[in-house]
Amino acid sequence: MNDNTIPTQLIQTLRTAKQVVVLTGAGISAESGVPTFRDAQTGLWAKYDPMDLATPEAFQRDPRLVWEWYTWRRELVAKAPPNLGHLALVNMQTYLPKFTLITQNVDGLHQRAGSQQVIELHGNLTRSKCVNEHIVDSWQTADELPPRCPHCEQILRPDVVWFGEFLQEQTLYKAMKTVEQCDLIFSVGTSSLVQPAASLPFIALEHGAKLVEINPDSTPLTPHVHFVLYGKSGAILPKLVDLTW
């Protein structure tokens, strides 16, 4: 099925929902020109080995390489405009009494589109931090890379969660509490493979929420959902909002 038909029952459910959560992944930014991770050919992990670029050990081994790779991604994201999918979620939040956006993305595109109070599970690559946990969004570009923290002179790293690292406890707690309370949850543009994010829809299900997936492909979550909308989020989300309100 790929005809972008939105079931009437889903429209009714969304219209009457009291608390809605949308969990997004890299797929929602694909139409902005930001590569996903696991898509064959175009995904970042098809070209780069995450063990060389996205682990604390990789950073210890070669901080400059890791820093430069994130600089490339930061520049790519800075040029990428939010797309119709991001904008539809901004609209959605205006119609719903309680709406929470939880993202695995580190690109900041939801906020640039206008979404408020986004829970960023994996951090944000536009920010950096040092070993002393000073979070900074600007730093001196020096010959030395990575640059140093303006507060303590330790070297900076991107403020993102790497493989082998824990999510920030409070962020995860907030996300879990929110999904426990929602009555409708969307999983948009994520392969549903990375934990703990992939567990969030299941927590919502256990607490009685209806679950919707938006993705061009099936994922491990698909057999568990109430509604699956196969296709691109930039096409489906605006249509869903238009039909609902």
Give 58-83 as a DSSP string: HHHH-HHHHHHHHHHHHHHHHHPPP-
- Considering 86, 110, 122, 134, which one is annotated as catalytic? 122
- Alpha-carbon span 175 to 185, nearest angstrom: 12
- Alpha-carbon span 105 to 89, nearest angstrom: 15
Q: Is 1 exposed, middle or buried (0-12, 13-18, 19+ CB in 10 A)?
A: exposed
Stretch that binds ligand OAD, among 6-14, 34-42, 172-180, 203-211 (CB under 6 A): 34-42
Query: 122 an active-site residue?
Result: yes
Amino acid at 74: R
> Which one of 232, 238, 240, 241 is in contact with ligand OAD (CB under 6 A)?
232
Does 194 sit near ligand OAD (CB under 6 A)?
yes
> Per DSSP, what are the bridge partners of residue 211?
185
Does 31 sit near ligand OAD (CB under 6 A)?
yes
- 3-class SS at 192? coil
Amino acid at 229: L
> Which one of 43, 63, 114, 147 is in contact with ligand OAD (CB under 6 A)?
43
Instruction: State the minimum distance, in angstroms, from the CB of residue 89 to ligand OAD.
Output: 12
- Alpha-carbon span 184 to 39, nearest angstrom: 27
Does 200 sit near ligand OAD (CB under 6 A)?
no
Amino acid at 232: K
What is the x/- site pattern for ligand OAD, positions 110-149, by CB under 6 A? ------------x---------------------------
Q: What angle do CA 57, 68, 160 make, to 5 degrees?
A: 55
> Which one of 39, 68, 180, 183 is in contact with ligand OAD (CB under 6 A)?
39
What tokens were used for 154? 């330790």
Does 32 sit near ligand OAD (CB under 6 A)?
no
Instruction: State the minimum distance, in angstroms, from the CB of residue 143 to ligand OAD.
Output: 28
> Which one of 10, 21, 25, 240 is in contact with ligand OAD (CB under 6 A)?
25
Instruction: State the minimum distance, in angstroms, from the CB of residue 203 to ligand OAD.
Output: 17
For ligand OAD, the closer CB: 36 or 115? 36
Cβ atoms of residues 163 and 172 within 8 Å? no
- Sites of contact with ligand OAD (CB under 6 A): 25-28, 30-31, 36-39, 43, 104, 106, 122, 160-161, 189-191, 193-194, 215-217, 219, 232-234
